[in-house]
Amino acid sequence: MEEKKFTIKKRNGEEVQFSLDKIMNAITKAFNSVNESIDLVGISKILTHLNIQNDITVEEIQNQVEEALMREGYYNVARSFIIYRHSHSEDRDTLEKVQFLNEYVVASNAATGSKFDANANVEHKNIATLIGELPKKGFIRLNRRMLVERIKKMYSKELADRYIDLLEHHFIYKNDETSLANYCASITMYPWLLNGTTGIGGNSTAPTNLKSFCGGFVNMVFIVSSMLSGACATPEFLMYMNYFIGKEYGQDYWTHPEMQADNSLKKRTLDKVITDCFEQIVYSINQPTGARNFQAVFWNVAYYDKYYFESLFDNFYFPDGTQPDWDGLNWLQKRFMRWFNQERTKTVLTFPVETMALLSENGDVKDKEYGDFTAQMYADGHSFFTYLSDNADSLSSCCRLRNEIQDNGFSYTLGAGGVSTGSKSVLTININRCVQYAINHKIDYVEYLEGVVDLCHKVQTAYNENLKDLQKNGMLPLFDSGYINMSRQYLTIGVNGIVEAAEFMGLKINDNPEYLKFVQTILGVVEKKNKEYRTKELMFNCEMIPAENVGVKHAKWDREDGYFVPRDCYNSYFYVVEDESLNIIDKFKLHGAPYIQHLTGGSALHMNLEEHLSQQQYRQLLRVASKEGCNYFTFNVPNTICNECGTIDKRYLHECPHCHSKNVDYLTRVIGYLKRVSNFSSARQEEAQRRYYAGSQKLNCQE
């Protein structure tokens, strides 16, 4: 072959000039290793089979050498060459792990030390977290190989190569590639109510009383979470708990919570019995677990107003033929919420992530009592999400699937409104890179993006086929046992870098027609393909992903490759997180109906505040959200944690109110869940410092 000035890519990503001599030397060494001779003519014949192109990888060159040796009949030499490659690959892999180990040990925290899939939910860096990190690169290779082989089988090698090219050049990002499990699920607990955990590999029987419910629920959540790479939502949790309390203490138990409920020396009241159950479940699930690499499981729960509850569970029956009791559940929801808010002043409790689901109509919530209660809980300093919808069928349970869900989809980040639904896989598009690449190469960016989105749908379809094979061979008991309905699981197309792409286009990031048109154009491309690829067994949704980890990665990769990058972490919202010019109402508008109409997978508005508002102000903001069509939001006021005496205060302070130490940390949301800022990765800590927290003067309640 003729030697040309090619650039090849080494395994570490470094680009170097191609050298024909190195290939010839490698071939000669392979012949010498089996005591066979080869002359220059023989080497030249082998080289004629090679097709070296610019930017080819070292690994691909070696693959071609193997094939060339076998084509020329040098099977012993080829075998020796393969063994040589394998041994050196093992050596490199070991050296990489040793280097990673050394760097991880001295890292400031577990999230910063993690090379793949950094997670602020891992509080402590220790031998258990290190053991969980070491195999991640191998899982990425395995998952990538399995998916590529399926793409080749279903479509073509060219499409598989295109997928890897987009992946390696960071146009797209495969979320949770370090795990073999499918992503997240909002499960139905009914199979557990009937059979315990036996259907999913456990040995606990069905709960029969309040005590066995509490212990069994914790075990069930741990087992389910070990088979998921994302969150486990239990939207029926409090409804089932209310059922077992009623069976033990009478359905009207909530009318006399001060009644003595046991004959122990403590003589606990019924209310104390119930809050002890809360404590057992919440503290157990917040403990690190081996199944999650020494992190707590991601656990989500939901609260419902009366109308939402009736819409979801009106036709639900327990095994004994009774139906859920709203009066008891209403009391229990409010009791749990108040208890959890107070408990968070005692210790850092990350989970559950809570969502209040409210039906809305005519510019306000329909259930005024729950609107007032929700506003009061925010005013009391509680941190939770609110989901507003004018149609509960968009989050309907699996037994009441209606046509509305065909268009409305669901919010998997919410993970707590529907039952037996969730996301199988997330594939995220780097919008900023795609738009810039197209414009820089004088390509219509919409046309270019359509091609990328189309490829993503094919890749997700291929992933689904691999998932079906796993289920066919009994590897997915959550589906087989009925905890998750396969037909209600979505394949998610994530987006990240929309704000940054708009900034590159010279658009102002506020509520204006040009920015709105850009957002609708980008997201409209995804929604169009979602509908095009939908079948009876495949559903797709579009999500502005939380991007705890990849938002930092995209900014880093894009800057290294010379793209316009205005900040070190891409936004997960429709506004710039550090922008001080936008008021509170502006941000509700930017996450209102016109902007989110194509986001069938959710986008949470994080309203960062420097101080808590009054109940009346929060109540007005519920009306603003309903009027603007902002259906998913939370309010973030950093809580102060004293590193000296341990005091936790719901306010954003600069010194401890108890011991007056200035050695304080803060508790706020990385994106979806609450953690100490000191547990964020170093890049995310920097992003947290840039966040703008609005004061109450930024709110005009007359809007």
Q: Which of 198, 185, 280 is nearest to 227 (CA)?
A: 185
DSSP character string of 246-295: HHHH-TTGGG-TTSB---STT--BHHHHHHHHHHHHHHHHTS-BGGGTSB
- Residue 490: the pLDDT is 92
Closest CA to 669 of 353, 333, 331, 224: 353
Mean pLDDT to the nearest integer, 11-31: 86
Reported as a pLDDT band with limits 50, 70 and 90, residue 398 is very low
Give the number of other Cβ atoms within 10 Å of residue 100's Cβ.
19
Q: Please answer whether residues 625 and 388 qualify as being in contact, where contact means their C-beta atoms are separated by less than 8 angstroms.
A: yes
Q: Quick one: DSSP state of residue 486? A: G
Confidence of residue 411 (pLDDT cuts 50, 70, 90): very low
Asked if the model's pLDDT at residue 104 lies above 80, the reply is: no
What pLDDT, in 10s, does the model give residues 562-585? Answer: 999 999 999 999 999 999 999 999
Confidence band, pLDDT 50/70/90 cuts, at residue 129: confident
Distance CA 521, CA 438 (A): 15
Tally of CB atoms within 10 A around 435: 25
Tell me what pLDDT residue 393 has: 54
Element (H, E) at 686: helix 682-690
Q: Which two tokens stand for residue 27?
A: 């071939």
pLDDT, tens digit, 9 for 90 and up, residues 533-553: 999 999 999 999 988 889 999
Q: What are phi and psi of 162, to 5 degrees?
A: -65, -40
Mean pLDDT of the 125-132 span: 76
Handedness of CA 585, 586, 589, 591 (dihedral sign): negative
pLDDT in the model for residue 315: 86
Question: What span, in angstroms and rounded, lies between the C-alpha atoms of 595 and 556?
Answer: 27
Per-residue model confidence (pLDDT) at position 90: 66
| Residue 7: Cβ within 10 Å count | 11
Q: Does pLDDT of 517 surpass 90?
A: yes
Query: Residue 652: CB partners within 8 Å, gap ≥ 6?
Result: 610, 611, 637, 638, 639, 640, 666, 693
pLDDT of residue 247: 96
- Interval 36-57 mean pLDDT: 90
| Between 390 and 154, residue with greater pLDDT | 154
- Are 438 and 449 a contacting pair, CB within 8 Å? yes
Per-residue pLDDT tens over the stretch 168-203 = 999 999 999 988 899 998 899 999 999 999 999 999
Rg (CA), the chain: 28
Q: Average pLDDT in the 622-647 region?
A: 96
> Could you give the CA distance from residue 259 to residue 429 in angstroms, rounded to a whole number?
56
Percent of the chain with pLDDT over 90: 70
Average pLDDT, the chain: 89
Q: What is the DSSP letter of 458?
A: H
Candidate from 99-113, 372-386, 438-452, 542-556 with smallest mean pLDDT: 99-113
Pairing of β 648-649 and β 184-186: unpaired
Edge-to-edge order in the sheet of strand 674-676: 648-649, 639-642, 664-669, 674-676
Which segments within 62-149 are labelled E, that is strand? none
pLDDT at residue 353 greater than cutoff 70: yes
Q: Which stretch of 102-106, 229-233, 394-398 has the lowest confidence by average pLDDT?
A: 394-398
Distance CA 372, CA 540 (A): 35
Distance CA 104, CA 98 (A): 10
Task: Enumerate the β-bridge partners of residue 528.
Answer: none
Residue 520, pLDDT > 90, answer yes
Q: Which pLDDT score is estimated for 125?
A: 78
pLDDT of residue 120: 54
| pLDDT tens string 237-296 | 999 999 999 999 999 999 999 999 988 899 999 999 999 999 999 999 999 876 667 788
DSSP at 363:
T
- Phi, psi (rounded to 5 degrees) for 623: -70, -40
Work out the pLDDT band at 86, boundaries 50, 70, 90.
confident
pLDDT for residue 37 is more than 50: yes
What pLDDT is attached to residue 133? 80
pLDDT class of 696 with cuts at 50, 70, 90: low
User: How confident is residue 93, by pLDDT bands cut at 50, 70 and 90?
Assistant: confident
CA 384 distance to own-chain centroid: 17
Q: Which residues contact 196 (CB under 8 A, 6 or more apart)?
A: 202, 203, 204, 205, 206, 207, 216
Please name which of 548, 592, 600 lies closest in space to residue 574, comparing C-alpha atoms: 592
Q: Does residue 405 register a pLDDT over 70?
A: no
Measured at the alpha carbon of residue 526, what is the angle toward residues 524 and 530, in degrees to the nearest 5? 115
pLDDT attached to residue 532: 97
**Chain CA centroid to CA 677, Å:** 19
- What average pLDDT score do residues 627-638 get? 95
Mapped onto helix, strand or coil, the DSSP state of residue 366 is coil
Mean pLDDT within 371-392 = 94
Is the pLDDT reported for residue 356 higher than 70?
Answer: yes
Query: SS3 for 48-89, per residue?
Result: CCCCCCCCCEHHHHHHHHHHHHHHCCCHHHHHHHHHHHHHHH
513 pLDDT more than 70: yes
d(C-alpha 80, C-alpha 105), whole Å: 38
Strand segments, DSSP code E, in 343-390 are: 353-361, 364-365, 385-389
pLDDT digits (tens, 9 = 90+) for 415-468: 334 567 789 999 999 999 999 999 999 999 999 999 999 999 999 999 999 999
- pLDDT > 50? residue 408: no
pTM of the model: 0.85
- Distance in angstroms (rounded) separating the CA atoms of residues 133 and 340: 32
| Residue 130 predicted with pLDDT over 90 | no
pLDDT of residue 413: 34
Whole-number pLDDT of residue 410: 33
Q: How confident is the model at residue 221 (pLDDT cuts 50, 70, 90)?
A: very high
Name which residue leads in pLDDT, 398 or 140. 140
